[in-house]
Every structure is written in C-alpha cells, then in structure tokens.
Amino acid sequence: MSQKLYSILLILILFSCGKDLPKLEGMDLDKWKNDKNACLGDRKEMEAALQTEKTKLKGLSEMDIIKLLGKPDGNELSERNQKFYMYYINASPACSLADSSARKLILRFNAMGYAQLTSIE
C-alpha cells in the first residue's frame, strides 16, 4: 500500500516541476503560427512586440520554442551541435510577394537544445 502511495507522490512531483511557457505580450501567437514564411504579413505587425519580448525566449528548449512559435521556417545545423531556427518576419523569398530585405528572428540553440541567442536580422 505504501509503495503505491510513494509512486503516486513521485509522479505528482515530477509533473509539477514543469515550467510554464512565457507570455509574449503584444503578440497573437495563433496568427504568428498561421503566417508561414510571413507570406500573409501578420508577423510584420508583431515585429515591435517581438523585439521587446525576444529575451523571454532565451533558455527555452527546442520543443518549447516550437510549442510557442510553431515549426520554424528554416533551420540549420552548425558545428559543435549548434542548431539555428529561423522565423521570417517579412515575406520570405518563398512568398509570391517576397521582400528583398526579409527580416527574420534567429534562435541559436546550444548542444543541450536550449535557446542561447535570439536576434532579429
């Protein structure tokens, strides 16, 4: 009987340790996710909010970033197992109305899979 109780307590403790995803003020994350490659122009409207909120993305895991922002528009594997995710803010070259100065959010992940750097270029 006591072994079942300990097992249940252990499971409860493990599930309660997860941390909530940050709230990105001024951003409609559903619109963000639905604007793949920024072809619809919805992401461009959120650029100012993203500029102020991007520091909240540091330290999040790859899976947390995908839950929050959706699947990246592009990714790249670099040396030392570093990974980069790219999310276009302006229409990417893949869009019919491509922007020649397409800006994007770039996230660099360390070898452990956590966001180490966030920048908008």
**What is the DSSP pairing of strand 115-120 with strand 74-77?**
unpaired
Q: What is the pLDDT confidence band of residue 1, given thresholds at 50, 70 and 90?
A: low
What pLDDT is stored for residue 34 in this prediction? 97
- The Cα–Cα gap between 84 and 91 comes to 19
pLDDT at residue 23 greater than cutoff 90: yes
**For residues 90 and 44, is the Cβ–Cβ distance under 8 A?**
yes
How would residue 74 be classed by pLDDT, with cut points 50, 70 and 90? very high
pLDDT for 102 equals 86
